[in-house]
Copies of this chain bind each other. A is one copy, B any other.
Amino acid sequence: MARMNLRRAFLGFAAIVLTAAGSCLPALSQQPLNSHEVHPDGSITFRFKDLGATRVQVQLDGAPAPLAMEKSKDDPSLWVAVTPPLAPAIYGYSFDVDGQTRLDPMNHRLTPNLLFRSNSVKVPGKTPQTWDALDVPHGALHHHFYTTRVVLGLAENQSDYFVYTPPGYDARRAKPYPVLYLLHGWSDLANGWSEVGEANFILDNLIAQGKAEPMVVVMPLGYGDMKFVLGGDHWGDPNAINHNVDLFTQALLAEVMPRVESAYRVATDRDGRAITGLSMGGLESLTVGLTHAGQFAWVGGFSSAAAPVSANPAVAALTAKSVDLRLLWIACGTEDGLTIAPNRELVAKLKAQGLPVTAIETPGMHDWMVWRDNLTNFVPLLFKGKP
């Protein structure tokens, strides 16, 4: 793997060995391509090399359409595009080369995902942003593995989840920590919220600023049946959707939560438990939260796949009294063509049932910039005030 490159990189080193003289060879002279150069005004110059390409575009989070790249006059293999000044954020992007998605070969920041490949680039703020890794006390991320009896389609039935513990976490603290169950979207893995969402840094910063309660955050694998994501697109099949949510719910309630509650000093009552998620995870968090109100008093959904929630008879039967939530927070980006309509429909339906929905609309599409912002705004509302 990358053996030729590694060999080339070691060449100077090998030369030392051969001559046994420790002679200092010059470093490789070729300047690496600056493929994603962020300028002080927040604009980004993207560069991509492909001599054979006839059309190259860059697909950028938050941009309504792909940006066309132009062939450089000086170098016929070099394609260049400059964005307008962009707001501070972490932007996902990929190149489209004659219709094929291509990663940036010069950027090691890859977005882990089962189906969609992309890179990311950070436009820094003039001041630190919530998702930055800063010099503040940090929590830790714990990755756990276990044999599931519920989730289908995993190799050797091995499933996993991540747990964030806040800075100074004390397993013997008298008062249990409140716990947030945080669910990823379709095509993500259990590491979506930590690797892409920067959830641990967002929590670190909110806690350092005194805006959030120190809490434990649990990020489980979000599928009940891996076929739902690896077996093609089943979003047109309500049975498949419900089957996946049902099995996920079982895995969460019967496998993940008991493991977390025995290994961590976390609340086991509804007032100390919150659940939210993004897209498919929002479908799951709203479904689990609304239909297991005895277990969760704080419920959210970010850009949720909301139509199956609206269609859920158990949800339709809820009353303000039966569900008695401390928070029901339903957020969506106004440019999210995938889920804004069903979210508005769900909000209207729940309000009509008398449920105290906090409906949030923000600028933005169906992407991580919206979800990092949602998490930043949702977490400070949790576990505050008297029941």
* C-alpha gap A134/B111 in the complex (Å): 26
Given contacts A4-B59, A100-B50, A235-B12, contact A133 B158 (CB under 8 A): yes
- Asked if A117 is an interface residue, CB under 8 A from chain B, the answer is yes
Q: Is A351 an interface residue (CB 8 A)?
A: no
Q: Could you tell me which residues of chain A, from 105 to 126, have a CB within 8 Å of some CB in chain B? A: 105, 108, 110-118
Q: Among the listed stretches A80-88, A143-151, A287-295, A321-329, which one makes contact with chain B, having 4 or more residues with CB under 8 Å of it?
A: A143-151
Query: Any chain B CB within 8 A of the CB of A233?
Result: yes
- Interface size class, chain A: 35 or more
Query: For the complex, what is the distance from the CA of A92 to the CA of B108, rounded to whole Å?
Result: 16
Does B135 lie within 8 Å of A13, measured CB to CB? no
B residues near A15, Cβ cutoff 8 Å? 236
Instruction: Compute how far the CA of A16 lies from the CA of B146 in the bound complex, rounded to whole angstroms.
Output: 36
Verify if A243 is at the interface (C-beta below 8 Å from B). Answer: no
Cβ of A142 under 8 Å from chain B: yes
Q: Please determine whether A3 and B59 come into contact, CB atoms closer than 8 angstroms.
A: yes
Check B13 against A94 for contact (C-beta < 8 Å).
no
Q: Is A238 an interface residue (CB 8 A)?
A: yes
Q: A365 contacts which chain B residues (CB < 8 A)?
A: 3
Residue interface mask A345-360, B partner, CB < 8 A = 1: 1000000000000000
Q: A171 near B: Cβ within 8 Å?
A: yes
- Chain B residues near A24 (CB-CB < 8 A): 236-239
Convert A223-239 into 0s and 1s, putting 1 for each residue whose CB lies closer than 8 angstroms to a CB of B: 00000000011111111
Q: Find the B residue at minimum CB distance from A186.
A: B9
Q: Which residues of B contact A311 (CB under 8 A)?
A: 22
Q: Is the CB of B16 within 8 A of A232?
A: no
Determine if B108 and A110 form an interchain contact, defined as CB atoms under 8 angstroms apart.
no
Which of A214-222, A248-256, A335-343, A379-387 binds B?
Answer: A335-343
A313 within 8 A of B: no
For the complex, is A102 an interface residue (Cβ under 8 Å from B)? yes
Per-residue interface assignment for chain A, residues 1 to 28, with 1 indicating a CB less than 8 Å from any chain B CB and 0 otherwise: 1111111111111111110001111111
Flag if B145 contacts A143 (CB, 8 Å). Answer: no
**In the complex, A101 has a CB within 8 A of chain B:** yes
Whether B145 pairs with A142 at a CB distance below 8 angstroms is no
When the two chains form their complex, are residues B100 and A9 in contact, meaning their CB atoms are under 8 A apart? no
Interface flag for A307 (CB, 8 Å): yes
Is B25 within 8 A of A236, CB to CB?
A: yes
4 smallest A-B Cβ distances: which pairs? A12-B236, A2-B116, A1-B92, A25-B236
* Interface residue ranges, A against B (CB under 8 Å): 1-18, 22-28, 32, 49-54, 59-61, 92-94, 98, 100-103, 105, 108, 110-118, 132-135, 138, 140-147, 155-158, 171, 186-187, 200, 204, 232-239, 305, 307, 311, 337-338, 341-342, 345, 365-368
